Structure 1
């Protein structure tokens, strides 16, 4: 099957102080988040001048993918669209149609399944096509890639580099801790075929962590969560990274290496929650702290994306390191198989 273009689909982020509150209102619309909570989160963005790094990181990654496509002789222009801020996905799809794109592949900047990590991108695609009221290109979303060899290699090498940044006398006893974005426990239970027990997202995160740790030769490690944003009375995936650092300290740990395996780029939640809050807490406790980089700036990440593209262009085999079935590939925003990546509370 032939394709005319690729759409890089991401979350979006403010690019100036005046954008911060409107952006947060977009993110939380319909969720009943109190204004005071938005103001609290806004301060995280203002700490960085009101600019999230995510759009610039995406632009750099897109440029790397475009270069890799050219190097491999693949003629696919790459369009950029976001869910929550400019450039919006609706505008990107409209430009594609004006440019004569009839069929395009979609790369979502999430490696995992689950509602927020997968199904919500399907909804973005469907919404953008509906906004066209006819004439929208056919859009095929690429699969989950949490277990792709290049994804795992990028993180494994980043962990090794982070480990070497610890004081030499702390390296032997340092604890490896993987983090991913927390979600409501009910949303995690709803994600994945019921016959498999749900929890697709957390199971995939655990598998990615296992694969990275295995490549690093680490047998004992932890998987924890970060960036919780919901009301206190709603259970979310735990433990939180900062709480876990307290636990490690109480158990006698003196050093920690944190790997944000749930993220593809060093955007604000990585920089604030890990480089500020977690690192600060470790420092208060006298613990050595090092954080592994995410893969979007690694040349192998561009090759990973092009490999996913080639699975559709020429039937290249899906390279993966886990026993999880390939999933996440959808057409025009149609949902995955029944029971997969449902929003919390869905029937």
Structure 2
């Protein structure tokens, strides 16, 4: 089947101080996040001049993907659109229609299932096509890739590089982190054993695969970046709280691997490089953080391999036994009973 473009679909981030509050309001609209939490997160952004690294990181990754497409002789222009900030997906899809694009693949910058990580991107596609109207191109979203060999080996090498910076690498505890979500949202994906769509199960599987690649038998999977009301249960433990637990157990060094993220955007550099690192310092724990794979050449190769599954009939590669999921057409979910938005 033929395609004439690739849409890179991401979360978005502010690119100046005046953007921060409107961006955060876009992100949290309808979620019941208290204003004081927005004040707190806004302050985090202002530590970096009101600029999130995410858009620049996306643009750099897109350039690497364009080069890889060229190398593999795949003639697909790459467009960039976001859910929450400019360039907005609605504007980008409108531009694609104006350029005569009729059928495009969509790469969503999340490796996992779950509502926020997968199905919300389907909703972005529906919204963007509706804004465009009858001329909207057909949009086919690429599958989830948390268990792709290139994703796993890039993270494993990043952990090795981080571990090498420690004074006693062999004693370091490996701790995997991912963005926390409400427990109800995780459960809405259905039983992990019956479908493999559950976010927490996929994160745990990705961590297991990286640990296996490293030859590490004992490790931890924890969470970060909680943003919801205090009375709603979220996935735990939090990384900072977990550092206290490790200290009580006599752990002297940690390597933190942000397995849930594809790039070093603000939630990585604030929650890990600032809050977690500072807490580790207070506890006397030596701290190293593994890089995310977005700037690794293997990530561009991964994206193009996902594209090639559709345009060149390249066999899909995966290291887990979980069923392939996440590939959708025009925002129609791949299964009606997975990754649904929980009641608030």
Give the TM-score taking structure 1 as reference length: 0.97
**Structure 2, gaps ≥5 residues long:** none
Distance in 1 between the 2:162 and 2:148 partners?
Answer: 21
CA deviations 1:63-87 (Å, max 9, x no partner) are 0000000010000000000000000
Q: Is structure 2 residue 251 aligned with structure 1 residue 253?
A: yes
SS of residue paired to 1:165? coil
Match of 1:228 among 215, 226, 229: 226
**Structure 1, gaps ≥5 residues long:** none
Distance in 2 between the 1:34 and 1:332 partners?
Answer: 33
1:78-89 superposed matches below 5 A: 78-89=78-89
The structural deviation recorded for 1:30 is: 1.3
Find runs of 4+ consecutive structure 1 residues off by over 6 angstroms: none
Whether the 8 Å contact between 1:189 and 1:198 is mirrored in structure 2 is no
The structural deviation recorded for 1:196 is: 2.0
Distance in 2 between the 1:145 and 1:172 partners?
Answer: 30
Moved more, 330-339 or 254-263: 330-339
* 1:144 aligned partner: 144
* 1:123 aligned partner: 123
* 2:160 aligned partner: 160
Distance in 1 between the 2:196 and 2:101 partners?
Answer: 37
Change (3 A) 1:306 1:236: same
Q: Is structure 2 residue 132 aligned with structure 1 residue 132?
A: yes
Match of 1:218 among 216, 219, 223: 216
Distance in 1 between the 2:216 and 2:339 partners?
Answer: 31
- What is the Cα-based RMSD across aligned positions, in Å? 1.3
Distance in 2 between the 1:193 and 1:211 partners?
Answer: 21
Match of 1:242 among 229, 240, 243: 240
Match of 2:274 among 273, 276, 280: 276
Change (3 A) 1:13 1:81: same
Distance in 1 between the 2:209 and 2:196 partners?
Answer: 21
Distance in 1 between the 2:287 and 2:193 partners?
Answer: 40
* 1:105 aligned partner: 105
* 2:183 aligned partner: 185
Whether the 8 Å contact between 2:94 and 2:132 is mirrored in structure 1 is yes
Whether the 8 Å contact between 1:193 and 1:339 is mirrored in structure 2 is no
Distance in 1 between the 2:12 and 2:195 partners?
Answer: 32
Q: Is structure 2 residue 315 aligned with structure 1 residue 317?
A: yes
Distance in 1 between the 2:270 and 2:98 partners?
Answer: 39
Q: Is structure 2 residue 335 aligned with structure 1 residue 345?
A: no
* 1:75 aligned partner: 75
* 1:265 aligned partner: 263
Count of residues paired in the alignment: 344
Whether the 8 Å contact between 2:280 and 2:287 is mirrored in structure 1 is yes
Match of 1:291 among 289, 292, 314: 289
Whether the 8 Å contact between 2:186 and 2:198 is mirrored in structure 1 is yes
Whether the 8 Å contact between 2:4 and 2:77 is mirrored in structure 1 is yes
CA deviations 1:259-287 (Å, max 9, x no partner) are 00000000000000000000000000111
SS of residue paired to 2:164? helix
Whether the 8 Å contact between 2:32 and 2:229 is mirrored in structure 1 is no
* 2:19 aligned partner: 19
Distance in 2 between the 1:203 and 1:298 partners?
Answer: 25
Whether the 8 Å contact between 2:257 and 2:289 is mirrored in structure 1 is yes
Give the TM-score taking structure 2 as reference length: 0.98
Whether the 8 Å contact between 2:125 and 2:330 is mirrored in structure 1 is yes
Distance in 2 between the 1:158 and 1:104 partners?
Answer: 32
Distance in 2 between the 1:150 and 1:198 partners?
Answer: 20
Whether the 8 Å contact between 1:182 and 1:237 is mirrored in structure 2 is yes
